[in-house]
Structure 1
């Protein structure tokens, strides 16, 4: 049955179906939702109403569904923790940096459709695309199936909750502490700010002793600097700085 479905589709649809089956564990019922979920606004074309059909609306929906599913999971996982703790752990799981890494790990980069002339665009849109796919799963399969996908396929296999609970997520602070111990001169520079219709995209660069290290991206200065710090820590292999 699955082979018949795949055989009747185009090569791009076959690739998309195979990818969804690989990371989600099911065959999509409404493939159009997933086509839209992987379509970035950089190549989206206007529809009959003059609006671009891209994944931005699904991203909005998926962000809310993902947050609700993770909140539900943490609420039951930690029955004696207060709301401040639960909010912090959820933010560490669903923040832009973490979602970009997760999306890259499960292969979203192989199916996202975007303007590939922009060299760094894919690095900052993978998490958004993953949220859009969550929105597509919700519309295609319903909330309970979507929640199961989020927990069983995204969270449980890819996150170490004990490590998340015990980790310091302030990468910038960790990097500054390391530089002080090592006698290095460190600074963070915002090297580019791109503006689109609905958002800004900041590019941050870490400089250590005037040498460029990690480059980070985010929708505000703080997130871009945190992303740049995280990538520098990985680059220099100094994850454990406490």
Structure 2
């Protein structure tokens, strides 16, 4: 009787954990064993939680682990699928698949934000929060179920629905890198001239002028310097596409 009571106590869950378990099961396709890993994967640093040893309790370490798991599984897949690809090709293709933009898309598609515990208003998060918790989620799967389950999940949720090698070969993930590479190859001087551009709006904006060989080729405006540079580079690429494609 005593043993039976212990068993029931161990296997019982709170109603909240039961709901969390059911939602995870639908996303994972298999039953999670240790919910603590997944709870950590959805805990933002603003929650100011500490573990039993007094260490910060949030998803950031799991994000690091998940990034490594994703990279290794994706790298193995590309290596096997493209036996003629050299190191540079394989690296570029892996970068396209695990790009921040793509990871954000995956996190949004799985609606992982529904689980996030944070003291920050969700409207104040940038787009990268979706990719961050997706990577943390992968890390949680690895700790909970091991590499084989983790690999199967990545194949089912990332590789099968999203990875199309021929399409990815033509996909540009960074126009800025493309423009810089072209300028360096053609021995052209270039400068991303950044300035603050608030206009009449409350939110801070940045403007960028992309100057090549002393001539302004394109401009970009966005809420961060990085995004503004990328926007200017994208416009420059389309303006110079014919010249760049001839030399590529």
C-alpha distance in structure 1 between counterparts of 2:196 and 2:12, whole Å: 48
Render the CA deviation track for 1:53-94: whole Å, top value 9, x for unaligned.
111111111111111011011111111111111101111111
The answer to whether the 8 Å contact 2:196/2:207 transfers is no
1:74 maps to which of 70, 74, 78:
78
Of stretches 99-108 and 155-164 in structure 1, the one that deviates more from structure 2 is 155-164
Q: Structure 1 residues 225, 7: closer, same or farther in 2, change over 3 A?
A: farther
Gaps of 5+ in 1: 1-5, 176-186, 193-202
Counting matched residue pairs gives 200
1:128 aligned onto 2:122:
no
The answer to whether the 8 Å contact 2:221/2:228 transfers is no
Aligned to 1:119, the other structure's residue is in SS state helix
1:138 aligned onto 2:139:
no
Q: Structure 1 residues 173, 70: closer, same or farther in 2, change over 3 A?
A: closer
C-alpha distance in structure 2 between counterparts of 1:147 and 1:191, whole Å: 45
Q: Structure 1 residues 173, 69: closer, same or farther in 2, change over 3 A?
A: closer
Aligned to 1:42, the other structure's residue is in SS state helix
Aligned to 1:84, the other structure's residue is in SS state helix
The answer to whether the 8 Å contact 1:62/1:135 transfers is yes
C-alpha distance in structure 1 between counterparts of 2:119 and 2:231, whole Å: 27
Deviation at 1:122, TM superposition (A): 5.5
- Root-mean-square deviation (Å): 3.6
Render the CA deviation track for 1:188-237: whole Å, top value 9, x for unaligned.
66789xxxxxxxxxx875689xxx97546xxxx54x447x749x99xxxx
- Higher Rg: 2
Aligned ranges 1:123-202 → 2 under 5 Å: 123-171=127-175
Using structure 2 for the length normalisation, give the TM-score.
0.66
Q: Structure 1 residues 57, 173: closer, same or farther in 2, change over 3 A?
A: closer
Aligned ranges 1:13-92 → 2 under 5 Å: 13-92=17-96
Partner of 2:15: 10
The answer to whether the 8 Å contact 1:28/1:140 transfers is yes
Deviation at 1:8, TM superposition (A): 3.5
Q: Structure 1 residues 71, 107: closer, same or farther in 2, change over 3 A?
A: same
Q: Structure 1 residues 7, 49: closer, same or farther in 2, change over 3 A?
A: closer
Q: Structure 1 residues 124, 8: closer, same or farther in 2, change over 3 A?
A: same
Partner of 1:197: none
